Every structure is written in structure tokens, then in C-alpha cells.
């Protein structure tokens, strides 16, 4: 390989065909009741789904979304060269336990809610280097498992401020192959950490918006595009507050994204569902991408979309120690062929 | 790129030159007192090193080891195309906070103590695909920060069983470039998760040994080598108990590695230091590799070494829920040119 596959300062281009050949999603009952309810492949009976703990339910969700994605192509786990996954539980146990018994080389990732695009980009990088032919990528989150880990005991039902977001119970998995298929991964960008000094862990949207804006701005510059050259720009889980902030920040840089921009955390719930600022979690962007965005792309609603998954890289420990929130956003351009 | 860069069933080969062009380590006072004490680039004054919390000390350690590695080559952080890092703190805050302010695209990883080899392999994969020219990879761990997170309040000084290992306070960072330098990354293997049903979080060596043995066995088969074709096989942090188990497991498969096999968790401490079964932690393999193994390779003591970093992918939550421990081992072959 002699050509250099970077575009501009920070973006990358995939010179050979890399496609998302299959994808699947599974969510909890609350997500089923949302506006995208009919699009998910599968829905949990309740947040336990016959398991003893929420953590087990979460890892089985990820395993299940991967298995559906495999089955749709008639593949077995053993057909995969790698499984890249991550989640928000401490030591990403949902991903590691989902990978247990798969017997597939496993690459654990942590990018908080940005993980799905981090994984898709690394999967495309592995395929570009001819290190494999079929790669599974998936993420998940579970509202009840995460709330008690990051905030308060879930059963306590502590009142949440209006800036807070609701962790999605859901998982999305994707099969990547170096073939020419209908949805192609053509360009991408790994984000830099942006920390604007926000320390309120109940307002992740505001914390993450500058990272999303920085990644979108850099990608547009690197690829010499305007926002109007992309049919849909979609962030991972900025929610209402973060979405507006991201739009304003990009407007300051001279980019008008008002007409073709949305956010997975806004799409997944209806305002009547009392989720306050919107959805979040590592399973938010991945389940919406698998259930709604990719199918709509394939149906021709858009010809290309730039998916920017956003992550807040804090922990309860860092918050308790008074640290501000480092945030990141990774982006991938997916085109219909 | 037309050739396929997999070797056998699971291993990979890097067809273009990928070198570790610089590396650095920093450790705590206890590690300084160990047999490798004179080899580390820098040593903390104490486990706080003038910081308010152990967590801050940990992320500054990682940042510092990266900065030393950069300075040795006269590089600035802005010369890096990516920084790949991971650690054991919840939500890998040590890595994310170390990356904050670097202004380098950041790829967060979680492979527990196996993370350093996961990162080196992914860095080499990125270079092979021409997605960058200079890549930083680093990991860290901090005894006091990790003990209180994973086990008991550190100050409590709870008595530890003899099978337990001592988390290394240390960090190692590496600069990877696609140039022909003295230490070349030529082959590697991403591990599969192996879970032999061990649930004792105080005996990680026994839990991880089967994963190490599986990775070593598969790599030897894939690359059609015998253990005698490799000058040094070194595992990440199996400690005394895991080391012996790994040797026995490989012996059952017909491989005799007795003469050229050691473990970073054994190398870093002297038995008189009361660490029981040896060292562990995401900074164990990385600091020993940077301080001792790579310099010895460059001095000609070995012509090649197979570094197999091992990780136990559990969390306190999974242990409390009675789950067994999924383990993984990623391997990289480093050759002197």
C-alpha cells in the first residue's frame, strides 16, 4: 500500500470497498414505545427479560443483536475474523461477556457513547489492511444497569434535572465486509478530546456538543465539503440541549446544518416519554443506526449520511474529584451505492 | 492492497515495515525497588507524586511516559496521527484524562492488562493501512487507585491471599512508525476469550493462563514455528502461579517453553517484596516492555520476542454476581533488525 489514506488534517478515506452488509438492533420496552418502535428487530419482554440481573440482560442483548446480524446473512460466529465491541459498564463487562463463547478474536473498546463509530472505523481499518474479511462490531447499554452504576440506585427513582438524558436500553450490531454492497463506508474521522470545562454530569449534551462540532467542522474542511453536500448529519446522543448547542457552534464557524441535521438521542424517544433532554448510552446511536438510519439510507431517503457518535469520557470518580468532562466524537460517512 | 495479511487461522502479518521507534516507562517507588529498578526512565516520588488523588497521579504518569517517548525523538504531540490508550480504571479515565489537551485523535481501548498489545497491534494495523505515519500507544495502572476500585479500601490494608498479585504502579508508552528501525513489529495475534470457569478474583494468574496458552499455541501453529524458533516468549502478568500453569498447558499441547519463557509480573518484583504471586495491571507489561525487554532486544540479547499481554475481563460487579472470569491474551512478535 503506497497511497496515504488521510484526508486533510484528521480525516481518513477507505480506498477499497468496505460495506455494512448486515445489521440488527434490539431494545427495551421503553424504546419500543418511542417513535422508532416498529423498526427494531427485537424487543425485550421487560428490562430483565427473564435474566437474574440487568447486567446479564445487557450482555445477552449485545450477543443477540450480533447473532441476528449474522443470521440475516447466513453466517456463523466462526465466520468472523474479529468482534469489536464496547459498552459503558465498568470494565466493559457487557461486551466481554457477550464475546465469551463466540470463539472469535475480540477487540475491546471504550469510547463511551462514541464507541460504535470508533468500532466501525477500526473494523474498516482492519478490512482495508486485509487483516480479515468479515468483522462484527456492536455496542449496547442498559438503562437500569447503568443508572445504578453511574448515578443513583435505580429503584430509588431520584428526580432528574431537565438537562439529563435517559440511557437507552438497546444494542446494535453490524457486519463489515470488504465487498461492494449497498451501504459503503467511504470516509471517517477519529475525534480529538475536547473539554470545555463543563463538570455537570447531569448535562452531557452541553459537554459533548463542542466535541461533535469540532469533528463535523474538521471533517467538512478535510473533505472540502459543505454541510449541503451531505444528505444527513446525525450525532449520537447530544439530545435537545446538545443538538441546539452543536448547531450554534457550527453556525459560528460558518456552517449551516439546520436543514439536514438530527440526533439519535432525539429520534429514539417521544417528548411525552418524560426522558427530559433525550436518549443517551452506547446503545443509543448503534440501535438507531441499525434500526432506522441504515434502512432509510438503503431505501433511498438519503444518498449519504455522516454519523457522528459522541462520548463523554468521565466516570463517577472523576466527577466526585471535581474534574471537568473530556468529550470525543468519531464520525463515519456511509454512502448508498 | 491485494494480498491477505492473515497467517493461518488467527494470526496476522504486517507486510510493510512497522517499527517501535521510541518508548518510555515510569513507575512508582515499589517498582523502583524491584530487580528492574534501574531501567525505568522515571520514578514517582511517592504514590501521590504531589497530586491530590491517585487517579490524577495515574493519568499524569501515562501522559509523562508518552511525553518522554516523544521527546526522545524530538517529536511533539501534534506529530502523532493517533493516540491509542487504555487502563483499568472505570471508564478508562486515566487514559482519557491523559489524552485531554494532547489534541491528538484518541482511540480508547479496554483489554484489561492485555491492552498494551491490543494497542500496539491496532497501531500497526493503522500504519499498515496508511492511515497515519506516527502513532502513540500507552497504558498505565496505579496500585492504590485500582485496589480501592476493584477490591478493598486501599488504606484498610486487607490481608491478601498468596494467589493474589500486586497491581503495578507504572506506565509504558510507545511510538510506532512505518519506517525500518531497529525493533520491528512483524506479526501478531488478537486473542479469543477463554473462560475456564474460574471465579476467584484473587487468583487472576490461574484464570488468565489458559488464554495465554491458547494464544501462544495458535500463534505457533499459524506461523509454523516451534517455541525454539523464538528467543523469548514473555507473558504480561500471569505471575508465578499462572506462569507455571501456562507452561503446563503448553506442555500438554506438545510445546516445551521452559527454557525461553518468562513473565513481566515475575520480572518486575523480587519475591522479598511481599507481592505474593507477582505483579499485574495494565502498566505491568507496558512498563517492563519499555524499560527492560525492548532495550535488551536492541542490545542483542534476543533477536526476537513474542510478547503476550494477558487480561482478565471481569469487574467487581460480575464477581459479585457469581460470574466466572473471561480472559484474553493478545500477542505481538517484535524482531531486531
DSSP B96-152: HHHHTTT-S-EEEB--GGGHHHHHHHHHHHHHHTTS-SEEEEEEEE-HHHHHHHHSS
Question: What percent of chain B has a predicted confidence (pLDDT) above 90?
Answer: 94
Q: Are B214 and B238 in contact (CB under 8 A)?
A: no
- pLDDT confidence of residue B120: 98
Task: Report helix, strand or coil for B201.
Answer: coil
Q: Identify the helix (H) or strand (E) that includes residue B173.
A: strand B170-177
Identify each DSSP E strand in chain A by its residue range.
6-7, 11-13, 19-27, 42-43, 82-87, 106-108, 134-141, 166-167, 170-177, 183-189, 232-235, 261-263, 279-280, 304-312, 327-336
> Cα distance from A299 to chain B (closest Cα, Å)?
31
Average pLDDT over residues A204-212: 97
Average pLDDT over residues B10-35: 97
CB half-sphere exposure, A110, CA atoms < 13 A: 33
Would you say residue A13 has pLDDT above 70? yes
Q: Are B169 and B44 in contact (CB under 8 A)?
A: yes
Contact across the interface for A6 and B318, Cβ inside 8 Å: no
B298 DSSP β-pair partners: none
- pLDDT confidence of residue B1: 44
Contact across the interface for B318 and A97, Cβ inside 8 Å: yes
Could you tell me what percentage of chain A is helix, strand and coil, using 3-state DSSP and rounding each to the nearest 5?
40, 25, 35
Q: Identify the helix (H) or strand (E) that includes residue B19.
A: strand B19-27
Question: Distance of CA A272 to CAs A33, A37, A38, A44, Å?
Answer: 11, 14, 17, 21
Could you tell me what percentage of chain B is helix, strand and coil, using 3-state DSSP and rounding each to the nearest 5?
40, 25, 35
Average pLDDT over residues A41-47: 97
For residue B118, list chain A residues with Cβ-Cβ distance below 8 A: 107-108
Q: How many CB pairs below 8 Å do chains A and B form together? A: 193
Q: Identify the helix (H) or strand (E) that includes residue A69.
A: helix A54-72
- pLDDT confidence of residue A3: 64
- Sequence-distant (≥ 6) Cβ neighbours of residue A306 within 8 angstroms: A216, A219, A230, A232, A233, A234, A331, A332, A333, A334
Q: Within 10 Å of residue B274's Cβ, how many Cβ atoms?
A: 10
CA distance A194 to A328: 6
pLDDT digits (tens, 9 = 90+) for B236-262: 999 999 999 999 999 999 999 999 999
CA distance B118 to A291: 31
CA distance A239 to A262: 9
Question: Which of B90, B147, B321 to mutate: most A Cβ within 10 Å?
Answer: B90
Average pLDDT over residues A110-135: 98
Identify which of B271, B173, B191, B281 has the alpha carbon closest to the alpha carbon of residue B237: B281
Q: Tell me the angle at which helices B143-150 and B54-72 cross, rounded to the nearest 10 degrees.
A: 140
- pLDDT confidence of residue B151: 82
Contact across the interface for A326 and B99, Cβ inside 8 Å: yes
Nearest to B129 among A55, A128, A323 (CB): A128
- pLDDT confidence of residue B2: 47
Average pLDDT over residues B122-128: 98
For residue B133, list chain A residues with Cβ-Cβ distance below 8 A: 4
Q: Regarding predicted confidence, which is higher, A159 or B235? A: B235
Question: Distance of CA B332 to CAs A109, B140, B172, B299, Å?
Answer: 19, 19, 16, 19
Residue of A nearest to B106 (CA): A192
- pLDDT confidence of residue B181: 92
Among A165-179, B52-66, B157-171, which stretch is predicted with the lowest mean pLDDT?
A: B157-171
CB half-sphere exposure, B68, CA atoms < 13 A: 21
Question: Which of A13, A15, A101, A105 to mutate: most B Cβ within 10 Å?
Answer: A105
CA distance B171 to B41: 10
Q: Tell me the angle at which helices B204-222 and B239-252 cross, rounded to the nearest 10 degrees.
A: 40
> Cα distance from B264 to chain A (closest Cα, Å)?
22
Pairing status of strand B261-263 against strand B327-336: unpaired
Model-level pTM greater than 0.90?
Answer: yes
Identify which of A8, A2, A3, A5 has the alpha carbon closest to the alpha carbon of residue A219: A8
Would you say residue A156 has pLDDT above 90? no
Identify which of A327, A299, A323, A302 has the alpha carbon closest to the alpha carbon of residue A313: A327
Residue of B nearest to A91 (CA): B315
Question: What percent of chain A has a predicted confidence (pLDDT) above 70?
Answer: 99
CB half-sphere exposure, B74, CA atoms < 13 A: 0
> Cα distance from B291 to chain A (closest Cα, Å)?
26
- pLDDT confidence of residue B3: 64
Question: Which of B116, B318, B320, B329 to mutate: most A Cβ within 10 Å?
Answer: B318
Task: Report helix, strand or coil for B88.
Answer: coil
What is residue A323's DSSP assignment? -
Would you say residue B188 has pLDDT above 70? yes
- pLDDT confidence of residue B76: 98
Pairing status of strand A304-312 against strand A170-177: unpaired
- Sequence-distant (≥ 6) Cβ neighbours of residue A328 within 8 angstroms: A111, A112, A114, A191, A192, A193, A194, A211, A310, A311, A313, B96, B106, B108
- pLDDT confidence of residue A252: 98
Would you say residue B25 has pLDDT above 70? yes
Q: Are A94 and A169 in contact (CB under 8 A)?
A: no
Average pLDDT over residues A92-121: 97
pLDDT digits (tens, 9 = 90+) for B270-305: 999 999 999 999 999 999 999 999 999 999 999 999
Would you say residue B52 has pLDDT above 90? yes
Identify which of A258, A302, A283, A305 has the alpha carbon closest to the alpha carbon of residue A174: A283
- pLDDT confidence of residue A154: 82
Average pLDDT over residues A66-84: 98
Average pLDDT over residues A76-99: 98
For residue B86, list chain A residues with Cβ-Cβ distance below 8 A: 110
pLDDT digits (tens, 9 = 90+) for A245-277: 999 999 999 999 999 999 999 999 999 999 999
Would you say residue B145 has pLDDT above 70? yes
- For chain A, what is the mean pLDDT? 96
- pLDDT confidence of residue A68: 98
For residue B122, list chain A residues with Cβ-Cβ distance below 8 A: 107, 122, 125
pLDDT digits (tens, 9 = 90+) for A217-231: 999 999 999 999 999
Contact across the interface for A110 and B109, Cβ inside 8 Å: yes
Amino acid at each position: 500500500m503506497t497511497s496515504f489514506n488521510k484526508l486533510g488534517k484528521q480525516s481518513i478515506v477507505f480506498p477499497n470497498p468496505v460495506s455494512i452488509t448486515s445489521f440488527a438492533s434490539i431494545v427495551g420496552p421503553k424504546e419500543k414505545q418511542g417513535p422508532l418502535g416498529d423498526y427494531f428487530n427485537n424487543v425485550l419482554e421487560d428490562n430483565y427479560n427473564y435474566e437474574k440481573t440487568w447486567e446479564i440482560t445487557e450482555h445477552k442483548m449485545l450477543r443477540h443483536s450480533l447473532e441476528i446480524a449474522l443470521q440475516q446473512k447466513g453466517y456463523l460466529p466462526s465466520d468472523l475474523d474479529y468482534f469489536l465491541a464496547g459498552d459503558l459498564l465498568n470494565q466493559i463487562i457487557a461486551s466481554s461477556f457477550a464475546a465469551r463463547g463466540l470463539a472469535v478474536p475480540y477487540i475491546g473498546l471504550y469510547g463511551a457513547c462514541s464507541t460504535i463509530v470508533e468500532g466501525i472505523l477500526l473494523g474498516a481499518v482492519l478490512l482495508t489492511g486485509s487483516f480479515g474479511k468479515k468483522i462484527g462490531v456492536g455496542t449496547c447499554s442498559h438503562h437500569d444497569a447503568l443508572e445504578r452504576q453511574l448515578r443513583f440506585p435505580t429503584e430509588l427513582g431520584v428526580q432528574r434535572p431537565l438537562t439529563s438524558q435517559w440511557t437507552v436500553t438497546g444494542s446494535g450490531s453490524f457486519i463489515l465486509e470488504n465487498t461492494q454492497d449497498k451501504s459503503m463506508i467511504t470516509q471517517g474521522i477519529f475525534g480529538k478530546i475536547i473539554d470545555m470545562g463543563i463538570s455537570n454530569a447531569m448535562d452531557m449534551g452541553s459537554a459533548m456538543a463542542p466535541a461533535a462540532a469540532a469533528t463535523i467542522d474538521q471533517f467538512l474542511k478535510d473533505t472540502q465539503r459543505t454541510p449541503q453536500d451531505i444528505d444527513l448529519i446525525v450525532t449520537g446522543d447530544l439530545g435537545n440541549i446538545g443538538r441546539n448547542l452543536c448547531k450554534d457552534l457550527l453556525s459560528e464557524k460558518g456552517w449551516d446544518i439546520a436543514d439536514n441535521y438530527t440526533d439519535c438521542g432525539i429520534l429514539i424517544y417521544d417528548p411525552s416519554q418524560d426522558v427530559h433532554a433525550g436518549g443517551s448510552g452506547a446503545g443509543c446511536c448503534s440501535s438507531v443506526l441499525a434500526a432506522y438510519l441504515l434502512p432509510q439510507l438503503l431505501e433511498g431517503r438519503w444518498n449519504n449520511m455522516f454519523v457522528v457518535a459522541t462520548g463523554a469520557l468521565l466516570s463517577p470518580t472523576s466527577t466526585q474529584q471535581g474534574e471537568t468532562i473530556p468529550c470525543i466524537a468519531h464520525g463515519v460517512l456511509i454512502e448508498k451505492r
